[in-house]
Amino acid sequence: MTWKEEVQEIKKRQEFALKMGGSEGIERQHNRGKLTVRERIQGLVDPGSFNEFMGLMGRATYEKNELQSVLPKGAVEGFCKLDGRKVVLSGGDFTVRGGSGGVGGGLGMELPSNRRAMEWRVPYVRLLDAAGGSVRSFEDIGRTYLPDGNSWSSVDVRLLSQIPVVSAVMGSVAGLPAINACLAHFNLMVKDTSQLFPGGPPVVKASLGYDITKEELGGDQIHTRISGVIDNLAENEADAFEQIRRFLSYLPSNVSELTPRFEIDDDPHRADESLLSAIPRDQRKIYKVRKIIEAIVDKDSFFEIAPLYGRSRITGLARLNGYAVGLMANNPRHKGGSTDAASGKKVIRLLQLCDTFHLPIISLADEPGFMVGLDSEKQGIERAGAALVAMTCESRMPWATVVMGKLYGVAGQCQHRPSGMFRRFAWPSANWGSMHIAGGASAAYRREIESAPDPEKRREEIEAMLNALASPFRTAEATGQDIIDPRETRRHLCEFVEDAQRVLQPQLSEPIPRYMPV
């Protein structure tokens, strides 16, 4: 006697799972320009590597104890490999009741995907396409219930300080899945086919009385440019899969490991001639800082994070001589490179990421200071500045700052850390101080200027005197500040990152810093 009949039932139940929510639901998904969850898994993971778990869960119907059908749960979960590395994957299945789940729970429940990622200490990827809770569940269970989802969310919060977490918004996402979109180290959404909100248009209509579309309420224009809730925008689902894989390639599998070094074909001593003239002598002229980044880091290695939000700062991941690093730079093409509340939050996220996963941070600084003005005050620039100061001082990863241009005020102060492995280089184009000489002279010498026979002439004389004192070489005479040939920047930073590895190694056994969404 064998168990052949039962084995056949396993296959039968697996076939029901592969049908997801049925042909009509699959057709609706495709008509919306979206892949099904199983098509997404095939597009993301290494071929043949997906190993599903909890795949038999669902709502079964029987006739005289004979299985007739199974409506699977609204998610597909399993282990897989991305570029050869093990990952836990959870994908929402919108074809099954909008991905709202509502199946199983209680005694005997197997470990969900987030717990498995934590216990296996491997990265966790969410492909979110779910509407959250549904009032239909009240009918199913015969009652309402007290909101107590933190029993699950506490795991998601703990994950942030232990393993890399990525959330991809692949459709209309609401409720708790919308929060899970932000309980991640990196998130993205897909252009034109994904939206994000705690409650969708019907909920808005019932609560506030006005009509609004999904795109107007929570489309990519809102979340990648204005709210900053979403880091990156993918052109399509294939682009989303590529961004997920690329982001994870810069990170270790967990906080107890270092990111593997990549083999590269790029001389660490490469000196790019363009860097000698990258910063214009006329400070009113704008330059392209991304070209400077590309000239310094390993070729084609820069992966930008949140490029459409907080645009006065550029943040991302890169490699130097094959080692993964975090990288940030002031962007003079937006608000003169001044740090505003939005860009400050973006920098804090990067610093937290690097501190948690042992990546050296490289800063290319041309900092005019915190953004001033009424709009900046309304956004709470002082609180944002205080948060950035605190994160800078509390960070521990090796940090190197290259002062390319301006470095003023408290925002400039946030380009320096007084403890740990810190190195600062300056280009001959650098200038610094508590504030800009032009504005500062008008304030500090106001009485002298106003009482002069020719106030404008006197103001120009004072500014000329102060500008002569602003030479970075005068600072170097007194402080030992290293001023380097811009063309040698890559060589210095590659050496710094190489040296950083012996500082990072002991941090693997130190207490894990707590990562909190910002």
List pLDDT tens digits, range 212-247: 999 999 999 999 999 999 999 999 999 999 999 999
Note whether 304 and 245 are same-domain residues. Answer: no
Residues 422 and 323 in one domain: yes
Tokens matching residue 73: 């749960």
* 329 in any annotated domain: yes
- In a domain, residue 254? The reply is no
Domain end marker among 200, 216, 249: 249
Q: Are residues 305 and 378 in the same domain?
A: yes
pLDDT computed for residue 183 by the predictor: 98
Q: Which domain holds residue 134?
A: 37-57+73-249
Comparing 26-40, 104-118, 471-485, which segment has the lowest mean pLDDT? 104-118
Q: Is 477 domain-assigned?
A: no
33-42, 132-141, 205-214, 451-460: which range is least confident on average? 132-141
The string of pLDDT tens digits covering residues 359-394 is: 999 999 999 999 999 999 999 999 999 999 999 999
- Tell me what the mean pLDDT of segment 34-61 comes to: 95
* Residue 442 pLDDT class (50, 70, 90 cuts): low
Say if residue 293 is in the same domain as residue 230: no
> Residue 102: its pLDDT value, please?
57
Q: How confident is the model at residue 453 (pLDDT cuts 50, 70, 90)?
A: confident
Task: Identify whether residues 191 and 287 lie together within a single domain.
Answer: no
pLDDT at residue 294, as a whole number: 98
The number of domains in the chain is 2
Examine the pLDDT at 505 and tell me if it is beyond 60. yes
Q: What local confidence, expressed as pLDDT, does residue 192 receive?
A: 94
321 lies in the same domain as 353: yes
The whole-model pTM stands at 0.92
- Is 266 inside a domain boundary? no
* Boundary (domain end) residue, out of 192, 215, 249: 249
**512 vs 501 pLDDT, higher one:** 501
- 66 is a domain residue: no
Q: Tell whether 378 and 503 lie within a shared domain.
A: yes
The model's pLDDT over 120-153, given as tens digits with 9 standing for 90+, comes to: 999 999 999 987 666 566 666 677 767 777 878 9
Residue 1 Cα distances to 4, 5, 7, 358, angstroms: 9, 10, 13, 57
Is residue 422 domain-resident?
Answer: yes
- Tell me what pLDDT residue 491 has: 98
H/E stretch holding 87 reads: strand 85-92
Neighbours of 421 (CB within 10 A): 17
Strand-strand pairing, 232-234 and 313-320: unpaired
Higher pLDDT, 65 or 119: 119
One domain for residues 238 and 366: no
Contact between 363 and 392 under an 8 Å Cβ cutoff? The reply is: no
Stretch 54-75: mean pLDDT: 90
Q: Is the pLDDT of residue 506 over 80?
A: yes
Measuring CA to CA, how many Å separate 153 from each of 22, 149, 157, 287?
30, 6, 6, 44
User: Model confidence at 29, in pLDDT bands (50, 70, 90)?
Assistant: very high
Q: Are residues 243 and 334 in the same domain?
A: no
Residues 338/313, Cβ–Cβ less than 8 Å: no
- What whole-number distance in Å separates Cα of residue 150 and Cα of residue 179? 11
Judge whether residue 468 has pLDDT over 90. no
Mean pLDDT on 448-454:
80
Mean of the per-residue pLDDT values for the chain?
Answer: 92
Q: What is the pLDDT of residue 229?
A: 98
What CATH number does the domain containing 214 carry? Answer: 3.90.226.10
Structural tokens at position 163: 């393993």
Q: Is 221 found in the same domain as 109? A: yes
- pLDDT band (50, 70, 90) for residue 64: confident
Could you tell me if 204 and 210 are in contact, meaning their C-beta atoms sit under 8 angstroms apart?
Answer: yes
d(CA 411, CA 387): 11
Assess whether pLDDT exceeds 60 at residue 302: yes
**Residue 450 within any structural domain of the chain:** no
Q: What would the mean pLDDT of 347-367 be, rounded to a whole number?
A: 98
Of all residues in the chain, what percent carry a pLDDT higher than 70?
A: 94
Examine the domain organization and report whether 288 and 373 are in the same domain.
Answer: yes
